[in-house]
Amino acid sequence: MDRKQMCVANVQYKKPSDDGAKQSKNLLRYLTYRESRDEAARYPAGQERWVDHGMGGSVADIAHHCDDLKSEHVLAFSLVINPSPDLIGMVPPEDREPFVHELTESVVEDFFDARGLDTGVEFSFVLHHRLTDDPQAPGAHDPHTHVVLPGTVYDEAHGERVPLFFSRNSKENHVDLLHQVTEQNMNILMERYVGLDWEQRYDALAEVREQERQIVADEPHGEMIDEQGEGWDLWCGTRRTDEQTTALGFYRFYPTSSRDDSDAILLEFRPLVSGLSHEQAAFIAKYFAQEMDGTMDKLKSLTDMLRQMSDDQRDEVITELGRSPSFDTSPNFEL
């Protein structure tokens, strides 16, 4: 796999101005009381959400430390550490929170060790449990952390605090170093929480997805009219969600804005039914491709009925269809 896609680690900072202080407090409140833009925090009332490593465990404490430990140009730094949802999906659900906690602490500590800051740097972080809004795989678990760092760090050689900085130049690129440390720790934790073969298992998932995309080499199963009235070929197909489940939906080419090519289009999948077994999804997609009569409306009607079925009912329909190799027998949706 592309190791650069294992985990995103981004750096931002707030200036020590009145406006910067206001923005910083608003950010701290948001991080404390939200999971995402659309969802409030999910944690028991009275339970401190922040993990304190010297910057405090509440909005007031962290804001106070940011002000006390600011530099001339930086009130506070913030990091986002966001593992790939595909990789998180390989971690058992009960282990995902400790996984991301350990990843965050290891990345921050190893990053500053690699920079030679032996005294360490104070930080606090909060874990968010948002769901992905990726149109190809919406609703996947996407845990990530927000880390708050001070604007200064204690320097033993000078016997005082000095400005903390993140260089990004040819001589010293701290952002690249952060990404390297993050990738190293992700690999270590994936081996421990998932297994030594995690990368081979991920590559197998990616290979299946690429094979599923090859359905567009066949004749289109129908046409979809977009909001602008333009017609697009579509193919009824599947996309492997994770090692256990597959989604059924359709493939279509979508226009995209690109710096290199303003007219670029991308082939993307849109799920209509999720959580199917691999066998269910493959069999039903083949049948729906034949029965959708070339229209998106018919495909949506078929998938609406499918969503209302239990797993046992779906298995019964597949068994019934399987008796006719050519799919001449219509499924009994009243089962």
- For residue 335, pLDDT over 50 is answered with no
Cβ atoms 111, 56 nearer than 8 A: no
| φ/ψ (deg, to 5) at 11 | -120, 135
Residue ranges of alpha helices (H) inside the chain are 18-33, 59-68, 85-88, 96-114, 174-193, 198-213, 278-291, 296-307, 311-322
CA 298, CA 287: separation in Å to the nearest integer?
13
- Shared domain check, 229 and 140: no
Per-residue pLDDT, 317: 82
Residues 142 and 281 in one domain: no
Statement to judge: residues 192 and 230 lie in one domain: no
Interval 100-131: pLDDT, tens? 999 999 999 999 999 988 778 999 999 999 99
- Specify the pLDDT at position 240: 97
The radius of gyration computed from the CA coordinates of the chain, to the nearest angstrom, equals 25
Output the domain CATH number for residue 154: 3.30.930.30
Specify the pTM: 0.87
| Residue 87 near residue 195 (C-beta atoms within 8 A) | no
pLDDT at 185 over 70: yes
Say if 38 falls within a structural domain.
yes
Do 235 and 148 lie in one domain? The reply is no
Q: Which two tokens stand for residue 313?
A: 């009912």
Q: Closest Cα partner for 299 from 237, 228, 255?
A: 237
Q: How far is the first Cα of the chain from the last one, in angstroms, to the nearest whole number?
A: 43
Helix (H, G, I), strand (E, B) or coil at 105: helix
User: What's the structural domain count of the chain?
Assistant: 2
Task: Please write the tens of the pLDDT for every residue from 316-331.
Answer: 888 887 765 555 444 4
Q: Are residues 173 and 236 in the same domain?
A: no
Domain stops at, among 165, 196, 227: 196
pLDDT band at 164 (very low <50, low <70, confident <90, very high): very high
Instruction: Looking at the structure, tell me whether residues 143 and 227 fall in a common domain.
Output: no
Q: What are the pLDDT digits (tens) for 224-276? A: 998 888 999 999 999 999 999 999 999 999 987 655 555 688 999 999 999 99
Full residue range of the structural domain in which residue 127 is found: 3-196
Q: Are residues 155 and 69 located together in one domain of the fold?
A: yes
Q: What is the mean pLDDT of residues 213-231?
A: 93
**Residues paired with 237 in a beta bridge:** 249
Length, in residues, of the chain: 335
Of the ranges 36-40, 171-175, 204-208, the best mean pLDDT one: 204-208
- Please name the residue that has the structure tokens 């921050």: 108
Q: Tell me, what's the pLDDT at 192? A: 98
Pairing type for strands 39-40 and 34-36 reads: antiparallel
Mean pLDDT for the chain overall: 89
